[in-house]
Every structure is written in C-alpha cells, then in structure tokens.
Amino acid sequence: MTDRLRLSPTRIRPWIPPGGAVAAGLDSLRRPVPAELAARLRELGELRDVLLVAHLKVLGVMGGERTPLTGYLVPGADLAARGVALDDHTWRELVGKVNEPVEVTEDAPDFDVVLDFSGAGVTGSVLGVAYVDGEDGLWLEVRFRQEVIDRDHAERFAGYELRALELLAADPDASHDAESLVAPDEYEYQMRAHSGADIRWHGRLFVELFEEQVRLRPNDLAAAHGDARWTFRELNANANKVANTLLRRGLSAEDPVAVVMNRELNWIAAMLGVFKAGGVYMPVRPDFPPDRVAMQFERADCKFVLSSADAVHTANEALAGSVRDCPVSLVEGVLRDETDDTDPEISIEPGQLAYIYFTSGSTGAPKGAMCEHAGMLNHLYMKIDDMELAEGEVVTQTASQCFDISLWQVIAPWLVGASTRIIDTETQLDVDWFLDEIAAGGIQVIQIVPAYLDVMTSHLTRHPRELGDLRTVSVTGEALKLELVRRWFAVYPRISLVNAYGATEVSDDTMHEVLTGLPERDYVTVGRPLRNVHVYVLDDKLRIAPLGAPGEIAFAGVAVGRGYINDEERTAHAFVEDPHRPGTRMYRTGDFGRWLPEGKIEFLGRRDEQVKVRGFRIEIGDIENKILGVPGVREAAVVIEGDSDTKTLVAFHSGGSTVQAEDIRDHLATQLPEYMIPTYFHRLDSLPLTENGKVNKKLLTSLAGTLGHAGASYVAPVTDAERRLATAWAEVLGVPLERIGRRDNFFELGGTSLAAVRLVVNLDRQISLTQVVTNPVLEDLAACLVAAVAPDAGLVQRLSIGDFDSTATLVCLPYAGGNAVNFQQLAKALQDKGIAVYAVELPGHDLVGGHDTPLQEVTEVAKAVNDEIAAITGPIMLWGHCAGAAFAVEIARLMEAGGRPPSRIFAGALMLDAAQDLDAESAMVTAMSDAEIIALLRQDSAFVELDSLKPERMDVVGSAYRHDVCSANQYLVDIQQNGFKLSTPLEVVVAADDRTTEGHAIRHSRWSMVADQVELRELSEGGHYFVRTRADEVADLIAAACR
C-alpha cells in the first residue's frame, strides 16, 4: 500500500496592472468545447476525470509545480480536494490516478481555484472553472475575481484548458509534458515583447571608442583616487605602456592576464592595457588565499601576471611550485620605464574574449565566467543609457575588483567623457567618510549593494545631510526590498534608485528597474529587458512558460558569455543553445521569476529556495519581503534548518534592538499563512555577507543549527503538566514535540490568536484564553493547568501580563467577527507605558467550538461590559475598532449615566455614515454568503487564522461578522435619530491607506452628532486593521492622550 500524497492547494498569482485592478467583483466568460473534441474526450473514460486531468495540468503549469491541488465540486457533495503528482506520466495514466485519495495539509483548505461540475457556481475562489454538458454541447465557463486577475488573463487560462484537452485527446499515451500549453500567438508575443531594443552595432568596440575620447578631450579628467588625478591622455599613455609591454613579451589574442593588484590608478592602467593588447583581463584580489589564487591561475591557464609591490607576494606564493611559464610584471615598474606609450592598434573582434571573472557559485569551486567584447560594450551602453551618464560627470568605483560591477564603474564613464573615482574600502567602511566624499560634490552616480544602502540610509535618517550632486544610486547583488526603497525616498525623494539585475555570465546586468519614487506594486521588480537582450521565463523543458506563471529566468543575445573557462561540465549545464533562436547561446540563471502585465519580471528567488516544509510549499523570498515590512527591521534572511520531517523555518534579521520576535511574528500573521511564519527568529547586528556583498545563507544555515530556540538554551519539560502542555502545543503549532522546552514562549513558537483558542479547546477549557495570553511560557502556563483555575466567565478578558501599577486602563471592543486576542500586541505595547489593557470576547464568536453562545445586540453586550468593568479603578478609556466603535459608544453612554464617564473614546477605522449608507451596507452584508464573507476577510488580511479553521466553524465567522456589522449599523442609525450626545472626548483614528475611511478629513466630522469633542488622528499606513498591523503607533497615540 502506497502512502497518500500530502498536498497543499495550488495558488494563482495575481495578474493585474501595476496601479491596481481596474474593476472589482466577479466576472465570467464562456467558451465552447468543439463537438469533435468533446466526442474524443468521452471515449477516454469518465468525462469528469478526463476534464479534471486537463485542469490539473493547467494548474500545475500556472502554479509552477508538479503536484497541483484543486477544489472540486460535484452535484450533491461538499467541496472536496483533487490532486495528482504529474511526474512523467502519460495523459492516460493521469486519468487513472486523479481519483486516488490525497491528504490535504490544511484542516480547512482555502482553494484559489475550484473545478465545478455542480452547476451552482463558485463565488469564494479566485478562479472558478466549470464544465457544463448540455443539449448544446460541452461548454467551458470561467468565473474570476477581477481584483486578482484581469479578463485577458482569464481568457488565456481558458485557452490553456482547451489546449490541454486537445493534447490529451490527440495522443492520450503521450507524456503530458510532451507539448507546451502556450498558443502560437502568445509565443510570438513573448518573443517580440520580452526583448530589449534591437540596437545595431556601429562597428567599433570599447578600445577604439575610448581612444576616440582621448583625441576629443585629452586634458579632461578620466580617473581619480585620493589626491591623484589622471587625464584621458595620461591614462591612455600609461595603459599603452602596459599593453605594449605585454605584446613585447609575447601576448597573443585571448591570452588570460591575471591582474593581482589593489584598487588604485595603476590597477586601472593594467586593466585598460590588457584590453588594448587583445588579452583577457582576469582580476585577482591580493588578499585571497594563495591556494585559491593558484587554482584560478591553473583553471584559466593564465599566461601573464600584472601586479604591484604591495601585492606581488600573493602572485608569487600562488605560482610557487608551479611548472607553468607565467611571467610576473610590476605595473609601477612598467610605467616608470621608457616603454612605448603609443596606441598598439591591435585588431579586436566582437566575439573575442574580453575578461574572466571568477564567481563563487552556490556550490563547488569558483567558476571563471568568460565574456566577450561585444557583450561588454553592450552592457556599458546599458549603464550609460539608464544612468543618463554625460560628459564631465563622475561615477564612484566602489566594488571589489573581483566583482564584475567594478568593470563598468571604471570604464563606462569614459565612453561619454565622464570619469571614475576610486573610493577606498576603508572609506566605505566608515559611512561618514563615504558620505563626506559624496557631499563634497562632483559625484553624480554611485553603485552599491543593498546591505550598504541600508547602512547608508539608516545613518542618513538619523543624521540628514545634503549629498552634493548625487542623482542616481544603482543597487545590485541582492534583491532590493520595498522597505529599503521606502526608507530611502523618505529622506531623498529626488535621488533615483536603479535596481540592477543580471549575472556575471551575461556581461553583468541585463535588466534595470529605474525608480524615481515608490513602485506601484508592493515589491520591487527587476525591470525590463535592456538593449539587445532576450529574456525568457522557462518551464522545466526550457519552453516558454505562460504569462504570469513562475519559471526559470534565462537570457539570450549578445550579452551571453562564452561559458566557464576550462569547465565543460558546469558550462554545459548553464550555457545551452537557445531553443527559441537556434544558433545562439542561452544562459540559465537558476533564478525563479514570472512576467508581469507591464512587461517586467517579479523576482521570486532562486529555484532552489522554493522548498517544502511539513508538506507546505514555501517561497523564502516572499517571507523575507514581509519581514522587511516590520518597522525597525533593516535586513532579513530566512533559511531551512533540519532535514526531512524536522525542517523548520529560521529567520535572521538586523535592525533596532527593540524589535522583538513576537513583533515580527504578529506582523507576519497579518501577511502570510501560518505555515509560512518562521518558527525561530534571531537578531544579529548585521547579516553576514559573501565577498560579493550577498547574504551568506550557508553561514546562516549553520548558525541556525547552533543558536537553539530563539537564542535560549533548551530545557525539556519536567512535570506531567508540562509534558501534556508541550504535546498540546506541538499539535496546534505544528512544531516537533522534541523542540518544545519548558522555557519556550507559545507566541514565539508561532502561536496566533486562533492557535491560542484551539489550545484552550484541546485542553478541555481547563485554562482560559486570558491565561494563555498572560502566561505564554510553558512552565508558567503548566502551573495554571495544575492549579485548574476556573476560566473567566465574563466577557471582559485581561490581556496585560502580571500586576503592575497602571496609570489608566484601556477596554477594547473588537471589529466585526473579531475576538479579544486581536488586541494582544496593543496590550504588549501599552504595558511599557503603564496602561492596562482589557478586551471583550463577544458572545457567539467562538471560532473553534465548544461553547456556542447566542449572538447579542450592542446594547446587551454594552450593559454586561459596563457591569464587569465597574470594579476597575482609575481612568478608563474605550477603544472600538470599526463595528466595535458602536459598542464603545454605548458603553460610554452607560458609564456617563452611572456618574463615572470614561476619560476618552477611540473610534478606530470607522466613519459615522448617514443612515441610508449604513442601511445599504447592512443589506449588502446580509445578502453575502458565509463563503463570500470569508473571502472578503482573507482579502483584507483580517483573519490570518482562517486557513486553520474547520469548515463548520467558517460559518461561525460568517454569521458573527454579518451580525456584528448589522447590529452596529442599526445602533449607529438609532443614535443619530435619538439625538443624545456624549461629553466624553472622542478621537477618530484612521490609517491613510484604509479604503473604507477615504475622505476622512471631512467625513469624521459627522461624529460630532454624538460627541461634543471630536478629533481626528491619522496613521500613515496600516490598512483597515491597523490596530494589529501598527500596534506600536496606536499605543503611542493612546499614551499621548493620557498626558
């Protein structure tokens, strides 16, 4: 007996314009299945099974996976799951497998896509695919949410379904992977649209173009380092001395020349001299271990070495014991000699090898990437075009000489009469010194890695200053995160960022995203293809992937290098003949990405970074992007620790010391499904980098195995209660039991509000939700279990931990369908400010089950809460979020009537709309099904825990939400008609990006109908549920009201 497949639902990635969807709600389209095709399909087996196979094939292609899982509806049955491992099966074999049982990794899976044979129509999914078999034949119907995909994309999806049916019927015994789903018209579109501008070569290469600039501007500045300056004439003469020396000593075309030097003007002369002589420039850092340098010399079959007095020891040690004839020349000696300094006039061909850069690669020994003169020149013009380099400008040379970006930083400016300025490593390591260089003026363009931009931005945020003539910052080497872009433009909105993407193997960068402000999407793309470059997103067979589907990014065209020097095996893997433009080379990057509607690529990380943890598909880059959205986090990296069934996600971050693991976890809980939230979080002063400025994930993975549980030493549970509790934690958190120690914190191990509720139920309610929140450490919560303290019977739950001298108390009323734990992060933030927090658990809102109490109206709840909080001493404030504001207003009315008014009311994310608008909203919500309400809440990230709910409890959320909205709206209609006014000050709090409170600058004034004093407070962002996403900012606002 074989094990069941363990699958999670296939996700459909959005396909909408960069500015957002142009329409909302469901739309649909209908396409006939040709009668002759339908007849052939019926001959192949049960029609539903045949259609299901084609559908799963399309889903696998569009989701970029081999084990697709779809929702499945047939008449008279509940929503089910159907999935299959596509593997290398034939169509006929898949038809025989689609009804084999599968295990779904989620208790209540949320399907983006549902295949519907029920005829009822699907409303809660992103995409509903239905086949209707009637008297007029077989029809394909596609219903789609316009907020997620547009009509063109839905049309293509329908086309893929029909194409899969045609392939299946044409040859059922062929492999399902034998042919592509991409139609000829889409293929031609991608060939045409995903190429950079076709710019013809003008017949001259870099050396000739440089020499032309020497003739045009011999006395203009070409290069600088410290106080030293070289004009174009001086640079050319020195480079010619190097070139003529190499030629005199026997250099032939394409002979590799190792340049073992520190970054200085003589290094530039050596580099240019090698190019002029027709040799191959191969930079080597003098501080590299001699064994590594020796390997590079050997692998490249190095013919000559250029070095300097302060670096030659490395070259000599590397050559010690070698039998090769590899003469070493000191450049300073060559420049002192009376060597011929005229142009050597060596003929260089476009396809001639220009340079070799050794890259570390993800595994194995360094690889020497070879690039040609035509590709090098093409890249130089890319930089000139997008950096808008002009005569007289200055580009800083900051990169290591072994990092390929160092090349364009030096030589691209010369082609337009600009210059390069070498910035010493010591200067860069002191950000103040580096900024002094920029602020002194005269520098227009710099290029740095994201990690350094982060350091620079943090420093400039604290110590703002003018940056001279700087107008463009190019960023490369690692993915550029939105959070860093946002921070940069907050301090320097007029200095553009250029996100550069490419590879050493393709002459450096091949795509640019030029940013003059925040991107229109919530991530930074890698831009569009640049001149003379063809960009593909490919499937596993190197075929063009459908638009929007993830696949491997590959490059073709003049930029593609020749391969890895003397390394046939690795060359054969990465450099292949372009199957789409025969006779040319194509380079496979190993990166994962997808096309966007605007013709740019969304970078999804390395293909090897899409992994499975506990059966769930995880994309590391997605998690890292979300962590960077946490205020105070500068850098983020996520790695996998453990093997097989013990794999866990471990996150590393740098930034402010006040950022706690639970802060990040709670932020992620509003952005990601629970299974994508890392188990452990570790803060480092800075993330370790490789020599090329990329995050060193190998080192972090090793570190993850030694740091333990969030940095604390592991202590096993010792009592029966602790062991019982650890078992319950493992079940609700999905964490291996052996990883849970007696000093672990429930919420630091991935606990969410729903997980806390599930824990209470799993323990037969022997502990309360409040006890979980206030005693999150295992040994402390176990003590509560032993004491068997009766759970609180009332509605009001204390969220603040422990006893402390509070200056005030905040009582919180949740948003529609919400619960008390939604305010947990706010309670944590306010505890440090001396404010105790209580929250109301509304009747009938039990998401897990066990105590289904009736739902109650606003006035009933308010009376009960007023009675319960009567025992609280000191000032009391009320916070009502959205629908909760109605409860807060009624509680305030009762408190005022009782002679003990609250000190303040906060109405969060709610406007007091006119009666007709409130009635209209109630009517709309009443008409919505529970499934539609759930889809709405998921879209707004209100209830990140919904994925873990059982289907019958989904109904509880839907009915609770519907009741809360209607009850609150009716109350707000009534108070506008009754005419009472509160004397308690009322603050309306909104987030600027909350669509439900648009126009708040005017709309908030309607609250003056029920309160004498009304003020508006605005947060810059946070969405509708900002009380969760921006708890620290909300806490600051509340604390300020107490002063």
C-alpha 971/C-alpha 857 separation (Å) is 9
Listed in order, strand segments (DSSP E) in 607-754 are 610-613, 616-619, 633-641, 648-655, 680-683
CATH of domain 712-793: 1.10.1200.10
Ranges of CATH 3.30.300.30 domains, the chain: 614-687
- Distance, in Å, from the CA atom of 160 to the CA atom of 182, rounded to the nearest integer, reads 7
Average pLDDT estimate for 788-804: 70
Q: What is the DSSP string of 200-243?
A: ---S--HHHHHHHHHHH-TTSEEEEETTEEEEHHHHHHHHHHHH
Is 869 strand, coil or helix? helix
> In which region does residue 719 sit, left (phi positive, over 0), alpha (psi from -120 to 50) or beta (all else)?
beta
* Six token digits for residue 6: 């363990």
Q: In the numeric block, which tokens belong to residue 100?
A: 């084999």
C-alpha dihedral (654, 660, 661, 664), degrees to nearest 10: -80
What is the distance between the alpha carbons of residues 566 and 569, in angstroms, rounded to a whole number?
Answer: 9
| CA–CA gap between residue 334 and residue 341 (Å, rounded) | 11
Residue in the structure block whose two tokens are 């380099």: 389
Measured CA to CA, the distance from residue 756 to residue 749 in angstroms comes to 12
| 3-class secondary-structure state, position 354 | strand
Which of the 8 DSSP states describes residue 263? S
What tokens were used for 321? 């014991």
H or E stretch including 988?
A: strand 986-991
pLDDT class for 643, splitting at 50, 70, 90? low
Mark 700-732 as b/e (b = at least 16 C-beta within 10 Å): beebbeebebbeeeeeebeeebbbebbebbbeb
For tokens 């945020």, the residue is: 461
pLDDT for residue 621:
76
Two structure tokens written together for 366: 């360094």
Model confidence at 108, pLDDT cuts 50, 70, 90, reads low
What is the rounded distance in angstroms from the CA atom of residue 950 to the CA atom of residue 956?
10
What is the rounded CA–CA span in Å between residue 323 and residue 757? 73
Exposure class string for 1014-1032: b at 16+ Cβ within 10 A, else e: beebebeebbbbbbbbbbb
pLDDT value, residue 617: 53
The per-residue pLDDT for range 831-881, each reduced to its tens digit, is 889 999 999 988 877 544 444 568 899 999 999 999 999 999 999 999 999
User: What is the predicted pLDDT for the residue at 851?
Assistant: 45
Tell me the CATH number of domain 614-687, given options 3.30.930.10, 3.30.300.30, 3.80.10.10, 3.20.20.70.
Answer: 3.30.300.30
Distance CA 351, CA 336 (A): 34
* CB-based contact 969:918 (threshold 8 Å): yes
pLDDT in tens, 981-1027: 999 999 999 998 888 898 899 999 999 999 999 999 999 888 888 88
**pLDDT higher at 676 or 128:** 128
- For 638, phi then psi, to 5°, come to -125, 135
Instruction: Pick one of 3.30.559.30, 3.40.718.10, 2.60.40.1840, 3.10.580.10 as the CATH number of 5-181.
Output: 3.30.559.30
Tell me the C-alpha distance between 302 and 328, whole Å: 11
What is residue 705's predicted lDDT score, i.e. its pLDDT? 63
Say how far apart CA 66 and CA 115 lie, in whole Å: 18
Range(s) of the chain covered by CATH 3.40.50.980 = 200-381, 423-530
> Cβ distance 22 to 83 under 8 Å?
no
pLDDT at 693: 64
Is residue 86 a contact partner of residue 65, using CB atoms and an 8 Å limit? no
159 Cβ neighbours under 8 A, 6+ residues apart: 183
91 touches 173 (CB < 8 A): yes
Q: Report residue 156 as tokens.
A: 């293509």
What are the beta bridge partners of residue 587?
A: 555, 575
Query: 1031 — phi, psi (to 5°)?
Result: -60, -40
Q: Is the dihedral of CA 901, 907, 913, 919 positive or negative?
A: negative
- Tell me the pLDDT band of 764, cut-offs 50, 70 and 90: confident
Q: How far apart are the C-alpha atoms of 552 and 588, rounded to whole Å?
A: 7
d(CA 498, CA 447): 9
The CATH topology of domain 795-1042 is Rossmann fold (3.40.50)
DSSP strand E in 656-706: where?
Answer: 680-683
The answer to whether 861 and 889 have CB atoms below 8 angstroms apart is no
Q: What are phi and psi of 146, to 5 degrees?
A: -70, -15
Residue span(s) of the chain under CATH 3.40.50.1820 come to 795-1042
Contact 638, 574 (CB under 8 A): no
In this prediction, residue 861 carries a pLDDT of 95
CA distance linking residue 729 with residue 714, whole number of Å: 16
Instruction: Return the bridge partners of 553, or none.
Output: 537
Return mean pLDDT, the chain. Answer: 88
Cβ-proximal residues to 134 (8 Å cutoff; 6+ apart), any chain:
none
Least confident interval from 178-182, 190-194, 478-482, 511-515:
478-482
On whether the CB atoms of residues 497 and 480 are closer than 8 A, the answer is yes
Q: At what angle do helices 720-733 and 778-787 cross, to 10 degrees?
A: 120
pLDDT at 740: 83
- Cβ(581)–Cβ(608) under 8 Å? no
User: Mean pLDDT over residues 517-530, rounded?
Assistant: 93
CATH domain 200-381 topology: Rossmann fold (3.40.50)
Which ranges in the chain are annotated with CATH 1.10.1200.10?
Answer: 712-793
Percent of the chain with pLDDT over 70: 90
Q: Kindly report the CA angle at 44 between 40 and 49, in degrees rounded to 5?
A: 115
Pair of tokens at residue 610: 């899409």
Q: Is the pTM of this model over 0.75?
A: no
In 3D space, the residue among 460, 443, 444 whose CA is nearest the CA of residue 452 turns out to be 460
Distance between alpha carbon 1026 and the CA centroid of its chain, in Å?
A: 21
Helices (H), 940-1007: 951-978, 1000-1003
DSSP state of 912: -
Q: Mean pLDDT lowest for which of 97-111, 932-946, 1026-1040?
A: 932-946
The DSSP code for 149 is: B
Residues belonging to the chain? 1043
d(CA 910, CA 1003): 10
Contact 207, 308 (CB under 8 A): no
Sign of the alpha-carbon torsion through 530, 531, 537, 540: negative
d(CA 80, CA 71): 6
Range 204-216 average pLDDT: 97
User: Using one digit for the tens of pLDDT, what is the confidence trace for 403-449?
Assistant: 999 999 999 999 999 999 999 988 888 888 999 999 998 999 999 98
Which residues of the chain form CATH 2.30.38.10? Answer: 190-198+532-609
Rg (CA), the chain: 33
Look at residue 280 in the predicted model and tell me its pLDDT.
Answer: 98
Nearest to 725 by CA among 673, 775, 678: 775
Longest dimension (CA), the chain: 103
Residues 6+ apart with CB under 8 A from 320: 290
Question: Is 273 within 8 Å of 242 (Cβ atoms)?
Answer: yes
Residue 656 has which token pair? 């402010």
- Name 905's bridge partners: 878, 986
Q: What percent of the chain has pLDDT over 90?
A: 60
- Count of other CB atoms within 10 angstroms of residue 427: 17
Are 1000 and 970 spatial neighbours (Cβ–Cβ below 8 Å)?
A: no
Per-residue model confidence (pLDDT) at position 263 = 97
Choose the weakest-confidence range: 536-540, 796-800, 969-973.
796-800
Tally of CB atoms within 10 A around 951: 13
CATH architecture type of domain 190-198+532-609:
Roll (2.30)
CATH topology of domain 423-530: Rossmann fold (3.40.50)
Residue 778 is given by DSSP the state H
Helices (H), 478-589: 482-491, 568-574
